[in-house]
Chain A
């Protein structure tokens, strides 16, 4: 039995998916079922996917700078579509000053460049408990 189902998604316009793919791979090796969305997804696509796939967790990777808008939209849509219990975490080039705002919005964890694989795995395991 896998440890949980996680959607790794890239909203917005940047096409740098190395990080997202690395995280997806790492989570797979840690025993999770990972659904990968591909690049340049809209929040609508991401939320519809999360609901059909019945994931426990969504990891959003954003390197475009549009994280405040995109994370907010995903959280709002989740609430609207009955997926308010699906937890959202994120990562990417996100300035430290934006992190408290994202957390206040309901994002459970934010990882910035340099975050260790171990810390991500521990956080994900904690979120799934």
Chain B
């Protein structure tokens, strides 16, 4: 691992790809990777991009990469695209890159697709690790694309410094907007496909909703932008807006980064503990008789757990 880190620091794309795989396969090795890394370079900005399927996330990412490459030709830009893995086979079809192929041979753009691997813990840590590798490679901005549904995706978006939530007309009525979740996590809101019917109305509803929303992760109300990502419309303003916002919130972002890493490692410890416990329970034998007792009302879950933990302790 030390050797790979050395090579990434010197700009080896091959080594960066390998180091990401290593940390993705074994996220619990992240502390080992970062150990003694006082001068580990970090991106200036990690921007999370999330929203429902089909809203245009990959196209927006592609457009923003283009914007940043033009505005800051010396910067290296990273992209991490997380797609769902099949719950049945464990496989995944990672297709976000298809929208970004114009950057494929740009030496200053690094794109990596990750499967969420069935949320079996460690996804957040794996994404954090990927972000660290991209920082080490010299990426100044990293765009982190996730499907914005489900708890694990909201956790993943917590890895980012700022979260951009994308919406588009035609995906649901005003009630969808008041539901908890997605919108609460947003620092920046983007109404994409702004050339379609209903975009103005969606923007107006969004503004109205925000007026009543108290959840502000950073104390600043989210800003709303409208874009037509396929045409590149609105992207220059969006990029400038994001940069200005990141600057305004620099000290908050700094604090968030520290807390986030702490929380991610804590989560990984819990995940590991849970996996260990499951393994030990499996070894302790068949739980069926106890479950029968539970279902018959002859015991409670609390009693059962206490009993199991006690038995486990006495075995040690």
The minimal Cβ–Cβ distance linking B121 to chain A, given in whole angstroms, is: 12
Chain A interface, >50% SS class: mixed
State whether A54 and B98 are in contact (beta carbons under 8 Å apart), knowing that A28-B86, A34-B91 are contacts in the complex: no
A112 to chain B, nearest CB (A): 24
Q: Is the CB of B17 within 8 A of A45?
A: no
Q: Which of B66-89 contact A (CB under 8 A)?
A: 85-86, 88-89
- CB-nearest residue of chain B to A4: B91
Q: Which of B1-53 contact A (CB under 8 A)?
A: 12-14, 16-18, 20-21, 25
Q: Would you call A45 and B101 a contact (CB within 8 A)?
A: yes
Contact residues in B for A37 (Cβ distance below 8 Å): 97-98, 101
Q: Name the distance in Å between B199's Cβ and chain A's nearest Cβ.
A: 28
Question: Which residues of A sit under 8 angstroms from B20, Cβ to Cβ?
Answer: 54
Number of chain B interface residues as a range: 20 to 34
With most chain A CB atoms within 10 A of its CB, the pick from B16, B85, B86, B97 is: B97
Interface size of A as a range: 20 to 34
Q: Within the complex, which residue of A1, A27, A49 is in contact with B117, where a contact is CB–CB below 8 Å?
A: A1
How far apart are the CA atoms of A48 and B91 in the complex, in Å? 22
The answer to whether A51 touches B90 (Cβ under 8 A) is no
Indicate which residue in A27, A49, A82 contacts B104 across the interface (CB closer than 8 Å): A49
Query: Once the chains bind, are A2 and B93 in contact (CB under 8 Å)?
Result: no
B14 touches A31 (CB 8 A): no
Can you report 14 A-B residue pairs in the complex whose CB atoms are below 8 A from each other?
A2-B85, A29-B86, A29-B91, A31-B89, A33-B91, A33-B115, A34-B91, A41-B101, A44-B104, A45-B101, A45-B104, A51-B14, A52-B17, A53-B111
Besides A25-B93, A38-B101, A51-B17, 19 other A-B contacts (C-beta < 8 A):
A1-B90, A1-B117, A5-B21, A30-B89, A31-B91, A33-B115, A35-B95, A35-B113, A36-B93, A36-B94, A37-B101, A38-B97, A45-B101, A52-B17, A53-B97, A53-B112, A53-B113, A54-B20, A81-B14
